[in-house]
Amino acid sequence: MSRIRKDYEQSFAHRFLVFVKGDKPLPEEDHLEEWKTRIAEVKETEQTADANYIELKEPDPYEEARHYAQSSGVRVFRRVYYVLAFLMCLMIIGMLIMNVAYMPLFGSEDSPTNNEVAERYLEKGSEETGVVNTVTGMILQYRAFDTFGETNVLFVAACSVMILLFLRTEPENAGPKKPRRRRKKASGTMTGHEFSLLYGTSEDNLSKQETDGAPSCVWPQSVAQEELEPEPDVILQNVARVVVPMIFLFGLYILLNGHLSPGGGFSGGAVIGAGLILYNAAFGFRATRRFFDEKIYDIIKVGSLCLYALIIAYYLFTGANGIDSAVPLGKLGNILSSGLILPINLLVGLEVACTMYAFYALFRRGTF
């Protein structure tokens, strides 16, 4: 327990405190010399205390790395490494030049590309696949399993980006939460009033967040993230209202005509994905979520890949056993032809469009 000195009321500290409070003016005495004396005594005491300690300097990692790099052993190793790397590059360049020199001339009959496989694609491709576009028949019929692997690469890439960048948020249409019973306050806990005093949040707002289904303190608030978005551009919105429907229509045309003309799932999906990105850039994430949110993305992304896997399994089963496909090829040149190639084009296009939009949304905002 602290005690007060008997002569405290006559001390300079007490008289100065009374002067600061305004109770009575400070006596007209010159205390400048007294302050200088006290400051000098404090400085001398601090210097004496610091003299009893040794100041330790923290090692600089950059200086240590620089010193290590300048040591003799490391310098010799770096020189040997540079020489070996240069010789390795020269050897690889020489091998590539020799291989190019022994390649057949372009258009030569002895070229490896002029074989029975390419001849089969060109001569019987339309008859066996029912497509006019030979490239589409080749990648979606003869090499359908390879194209399925490429689609899996897109799926895995989108999943990897989601794992690294995805921020989980509560859905906006979440219903009201059930009121929880108030438990007896335990020792060492804070009440809502104490929490509001400490963090600047009123009890009404806390209760409203608990009952209205607003994002809790555990989940990142999507509203706060949307406030960081730039203001929508009126010119871009007016242009997007005209251009985006045309982009979607053109992308759908490329998907549906991939077996009849240049196009297909990859190019059509890229066009549709570009339309989604343009719509999002013009109207924002909240407007895009009205028709394309996380749930729809999951259904389309996973559903397309699963259906594509079933079609590939059917192709492998019928082809390995020499069974004719139950799906007719149709009339060559019609929109409803080519058997299962048209559905594959649609599934690949949906997969590509979802992947493009997922990359854009996740890298920009961390969610859909």
Q: Which pLDDT score is estimated for 198?
A: 45
Q: Which pLDDT score is estimated for 220?
A: 40
Kind plus residue range of the DSSP H or E element containing 181? none
Residue 314, sorted as left (phi over 0), alpha (psi -120 to 50) or beta, turns out to be alpha
Q: Kindly report which listed range (34-48, 139-153, 192-206, 319-333) carries the lowest average pLDDT score.
A: 192-206
For the cut 90, the answer to whether the pLDDT of residue 2 exceeds it is no
Higher pLDDT, 122 or 287: 287
Question: 187 falls in which pLDDT band (50, 70, 90)?
Answer: very low
- Across the range 18-40, mean pLDDT stands at 63
Mean pLDDT of the chain: 77
Task: Find, among 300, 298, 276, the residue nearest to 287 by Cα.
Answer: 276
Question: 337 falls in which pLDDT band (50, 70, 90)?
Answer: confident
For the cut 70, the answer to whether the pLDDT of residue 200 exceeds it is no
Task: Find, among 367, 360, 331, the residue nearest to 226 by Cα.
Answer: 367
Q: Which pLDDT score is estimated for 349?
A: 94
Q: Helix 234-256 crosses helix 341-364 at what angle (to 10 degrees)?
A: 150
CA atoms within 13 Å, Cβ hemisphere of 62: 0
The 3-state DSSP class for residue 95 equals helix
Q: Which pLDDT score is estimated for 199?
A: 46
Q: Which pLDDT score is estimated for 207?
A: 47
Where b means 16+ CB within 10 Å and e means fewer, 63-95 reads: eeeeeeeeeeeeeeeeeeeeeeeeeeeeeeeee
Q: Cα separation of 204 and 223, whole Å? A: 19
Higher pLDDT, 182 or 295: 295
Work out whether the CA dihedral 307, 310, 316, 318 comes out positive or negative: negative
Kindly report the pTM of this predicted structure.
0.59
Question: 125 falls in which pLDDT band (50, 70, 90)?
Answer: confident
Q: Which pLDDT score is estimated for 273?
A: 95
Where b means 16+ CB within 10 Å and e means fewer, 255-278 reads: bbbbbbeebbbbbbbbbbbbbbbb
Q: Which pLDDT score is estimated for 211?
A: 45
The 3-state DSSP class for residue 62 equals helix
Our CA angle for 189, 193, 197, nearest 5°, is 100
Q: Which pLDDT score is estimated for 13?
A: 72
Q: What is the CA radius of gyration of the chain?
A: 38
Q: Cα separation of 272 and 297, whole Å? A: 14
Using a 10 angstrom Cβ sphere, with 0-12 exposed, 13-18 middle and 19 or more buried, the burial of residue 209 is middle
For the cut 60, the answer to whether the pLDDT of residue 280 exceeds it is yes
